[in-house]
């Protein structure tokens, strides 16, 4: 009887781990899919994939100190940054806007997004995504 209970517990643990892993994988695919769809849309609208364009990245943070810290780190990495207060947000009232000139390729965008997602999580904030900068054709 003890072996049977142990077998059931082990089976349940494996099943829960698989469910957790699949949910995580699907959410990552959804984020990556959005990136690739936007890049494809920009290219169809006339954006040259080999010519660098301004790309705006956004990180929401819980305090001005955290926002200034992230902005300084990104500034040292070559981003042009500014910090703004978000009047309509209660939990993450500060935003770091980071701009960088780069080619519109999925690997580069995913690399920067991953880096910003990690920085935001470490600071108790969230990565809010990216958008093409002014002057980039959007169709």
Residue 6 belongs to some domain of the structure: no
How high is the pLDDT of residue 25? 66
Residue 16 belongs to some domain of the structure: no
Residue 7 belongs to some domain of the structure: no
Give the Cβ contact number of residue 130 at 10 Å.
20
Closest to 95 in 3D by CA, of 115, 112, 74, 110 = 74
The dihedrals phi and psi of 42, each to the nearest 5 degrees, come to -65, -40
- Is the pLDDT assigned to residue 139 strictly greater than 60? no
3 state SS for the chain: CHHHHHHHHHHHHHHHHHHHHHHHHHHHHHHHHHHHHHHHHHHHCCCCCCCCEEEEEEEEECCHHHHHHHHHHHHHCCCEEEEEECCCCCCCCEEEEEEEEECCCHHHHHHHHHHHHHHHHHCCCEEEEEEECCCCCCC
Q: pTM for the full model?
A: 0.71
Residue 115 belongs to some domain of the structure: yes
How high is the pLDDT of residue 135? 67
Residue 9 belongs to some domain of the structure: no
Q: What is the pLDDT of residues 14-71, one digit of tens each?
A: 877 777 777 676 555 555 578 888 888 888 888 787 888 899 999 999 999 999 999 9
* Distances 10 to 16, 23, 40, 100, 120 between C-alpha atoms, Å: 10, 20, 45, 48, 35
How high is the pLDDT of residue 118? 95
Q: What is the pLDDT of residues 67-102, one digit of tens each?
A: 999 999 999 999 999 999 988 877 889 999 999 999
Residue 39 belongs to some domain of the structure: yes
Residue 139 belongs to some domain of the structure: no
How high is the pLDDT of residue 44? 85
Closest to 139 in 3D by CA, of 51, 47, 30 = 47
Range of the domain at 57: 29-132
Pairwise pLDDT comparison (25 vs 107), residue with the higher score: 107
Closest to 58 in 3D by CA, of 3, 126, 115, 124 = 126
Pairwise pLDDT comparison (11 vs 107), residue with the higher score: 107
Residue 2 belongs to some domain of the structure: no
Structure tokens that stand for 81 in this block: 């940054």
Q: How many domains does the chain have?
A: 1
CATH code of the domain in which 111 resides:
3.30.70.970
């Amino acid at each position: 009887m003890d072996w049977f209970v142990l077998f059931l517990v082990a089976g349940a643990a494996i099943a829960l781990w698989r469910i957790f892993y699949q949910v995580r994988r699907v959410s990552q695919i959804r984020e990556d899919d959005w990136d690739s769809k936007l890049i494809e849309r920009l290219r169809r609208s006339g954006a040259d994939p080999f010519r660098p364009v301004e790309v705006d990245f956004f990180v929401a943070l819980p305090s001005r100190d955290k926002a200034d810290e992230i902005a300084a780190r990104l500034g040292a990495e070559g981003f042009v940054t500014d910090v703004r207060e978000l009047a309509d947000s209660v939990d993450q009232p500060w935003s770091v806007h980071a701009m960088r000139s780069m080619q519109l390729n999925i690997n580069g965008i995913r690399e920067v997004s991953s880096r910003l997602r990690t920085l935001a999580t470490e600071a108790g904030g969230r990565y809010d995504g990216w958008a093409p900068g002014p002057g980039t054709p959007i169709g």
